[in-house]
Amino acid sequence: MSLDAALRIASSGLAAVQRNIAQASQNVANADTEGYTRKSVTQRAVTGGDSPAGVRTSEAQRAVDAALLARLDASRAGSAAATLRESLLTGIEEAHGDSGQTLPDGVSDLQNAFIALRDTPADAGAQRSVLAAATTLAERLNGVSQAIGTARQQAQDGLVSEVKAANAALRQVASLTLQIRNGAGDAAALEDQRDAAIASLAESLGVQAVKRGDGDVLLVAKGGVVLPLDPDHNQLATAEATVAPGSSALPGITLNGLDVTRQLSGGRIGEALTLRDTTLPRYQAELDVLASGLAARLDGEGLRLFTDSDGSSVPDAAQPYTGSTQIGFAGRIQVNPAVAADPALLRDGTHAVAGSATGASAFTPNDADGPAGFTTLIDRVLNYSFGSEAQAGQAWPGLATSGLGPDGTLASPFTAPATLAAYASRLTAAQTGDRAAATAAKEQASALQSTLQSRFAQQSGVDTDAEMASIVALQNAYAANAKVLSTIQSLFETLLGVVR
């Protein structure tokens, strides 16, 4: 081997060691930087013909397991969705109240107040107790309805915010991809930044990133929608809206003008759509069915205790929910102003009932000069309004558990019970149980994300001890290459001395 060849080999080795030391030092310096992945510089031997010609280093490579990163992004989407669901359902659970204040308790308290009134029908205090129980129950229905409406509006507003966040992440991914493809900067560092942007996008919308060899990336939403990348334009669009109990045609999400609402799932966007369009409209409908059934079954026996906001009408609970005045009734239900002004109507009745073979039997209210101990109406209320029959042998029309929602496509997760109290219990259990299930799902998703994050950190993070050991080894290699250079220099000087 000639001295020139030895010099080239030693020089290339020295340059390779310097680059490896620089990379190891960068790893140590960024060990605690969020999103930074460990990088290494690979090198290969170079030959000239059959003779060695030194070493050549390549661009820095990231220590990233693509499959593990994909699972981590999926866990981020699941955790974000579960957290949003728990947050919005918690407000509804709080509106339902604790033990002793729930809707089933309110129905039971009203029934017990009527039982007490039957013992002393003319007692003004007992009448006021019934009135107070009715008012409390109506206010509880109003409160839960308001909480559902608030949560649904929050889901709509959150959807708008998340679409903006998703667009920002998509633009960032597009910009970084262009830089990677064009070789504008440190490709490995740019890929770290792009992975961070994809991670942010995954929280908004479940997405899978498919990396390509030319530095490009393909983003596929969980529902199968391919998300195009453009650094200068938004891809997704939606609109703000005010949500009401009867709202059905709410703004969807478009991708370059094409409606993809039903194809998107995962992340906060997918969960917000589910809450806004399915879960919360079902909650509202179930609550409206309870309120309508309560008002209608009392009214059917001759006591218009509850009315709509106009102070006189009562929804027909036997009609289909969709398109009826039942929609949103739980938020409007109130104690009949006429009964509030004259509590004696709780004993006497508010109106006559003609009677029907398929409904309640005939009823005539107590006359103004009738007996003070009149109990006919109270008996009808206790035996039938709170029971399963409109009259002996004739069942009430079933409380609806299907055909719910503004468009009639939703159904309750429980079977139709026969009594108001049973329906109130099942409704409360189902709605508050959803919050508990959401919390459990969030905890499970968070645990999975934490596990995957730890595994990813072990595989792709920086081990400062290992990096420092590597630097020591590289320094020794540097010294060896420097020694070779020094020896070659001495040889050259000896040769020059001989020539002189």
Q: What is the mean pLDDT of the chain?
A: 89
Reported as a single tens digit per residue, the pLDDT across 355-392 is 999 899 999 999 989 999 999 999 999 999 999 999 99
What is the 3-state secondary structure of the chain?
CCHHHHHHHHHHHHHHHHHHHHHHHHHHHCCCCCCCCCEECCEEEEEECCEEEEEEECCCEECCCHHHHHHHHHHHHHHHHHHHHHHHHHHHHHHHCCCCCCHHHHHHHHHHHHHHHHHCCCCHHHHHHHHHHHHHHHHHHHHHHHHHHHHHHHHHHHHHHHHHHHHHHHHHHHHHHHHHHCCCCCHHHHHHHHHHHHHHHHHHCCEEEEECCCCCEEEEECCCCEECCCCCCCCEECCCCCCCCCCCCCCCCEECCEECHHHCCCHHHHHHHHHHHHHHHHHHHHHHHHHHHHHHHHHHCCCCCEECCCCCCCCCCCCCCCCCCCCCHHHHCEECHHHHHCCCHHHHCCCCECCCCCCCCCECCCCCCCCCCCCHHHHHHHHHHCCCEEECCEECCCCCCCCECCCCCECCCCCCCCCHHHHHHHHHHHHHHHHHHHHHHHHHHHHHHHHHHHHHHHHHCCCHHHHHHHHHHHHHHHHHHHHHHHHHHHHHHHHHHHHC
Stretches in the chain below the pLDDT threshold 50 = none
pLDDT for the residue 9: 64
pLDDT for the residue 201: 95
Reported as a single tens digit per residue, the pLDDT across 97-154 is 876 789 999 999 999 999 999 999 999 999 999 999 999 999 999 999 999 999 999 9
Tell me if the pTM is above 0.85. yes
pLDDT for the residue 54: 56
pLDDT for the residue 475: 66
- Sequence spans of domains, the chain: 3-38+463-499, 69-447
